[in-house]
Amino acid sequence: MRIAHVALWTQDLDTAAQFWERYFRASVGEAYHSKNRPGFTSRFVTLPEDGGQIELMTGPWLADDAPAERIGWDHIAITLGSGEAVDALAEKCRADGCLKSGPRWTGDGFYEALILMPDGTPVEITA
C-alpha cells in the first residue's frame, strides 16, 4: 500500500508548479478545468525517482486572509536521500529567499530544513 497523491490548495497554480519544478525537478501535468465545479483548476506534479504525486488545486473562493494554521495537513516532507542534498537545496533556497529554517537534527531524529512555497505553504526537506 502507498499514498497515491496528496492535494494542496494554492492561489497561484502556475507559481506553485514552477516551485516544484525548480526545487524538486518535478514534471508538471497540464491544467485540468472542472466542468462540474466552475473555477476549480488543478495540475499534478510528479516527483522524480519514486513518482509520488502532488495535486495542486486552485479556485476563486480561496481567501487571501486564510489562516496559516488550521485543522488538516500541516506540511509535506520530501526525503532527498542525504544530508548533503538537504544542505545543497537549503542553500539554494536561502539564496532565493524561501528558506524558513536551516538544516538541523530534530528531537525526533530527522535531519531536515523547512522551505516555503511562494504562497507560504511549508515543505520539509529531509535526509
The architecture that CATH gives domain 74-126 is: Roll (3.10)
Query: Of 1, 50, 8, 55, which Cα lies nearest the Cα of 28?
Result: 55
Model pLDDT for residues 9-46, shown as the tens digit of each residue: 888 999 999 999 999 999 999 999 999 889 999 999 99
How many of the other CB atoms lie within 10 Å of CB of 106? Answer: 10
Average pLDDT over residues 101-109: 91
The correct answer on CATH 3.30.70.270 for the domain covering 1-60 is no
| HSE value, Cβ hemisphere, 13 Å, CA-based, for 108 | 2
- Position 37 scores a pLDDT of 87
Domain boundaries, the chain: 1-60, 74-126
Q: Cβ(127)–Cβ(83) under 8 Å?
A: yes
Q: What is the pTM of this model?
A: 0.85
- The pLDDT assigned to 62 comes to 79
For the segment 40-86, what is each residue's pLDDT rounded down to a tens digit? 999 999 999 888 999 999 988 877 666 665 656 778 999 999 999 99
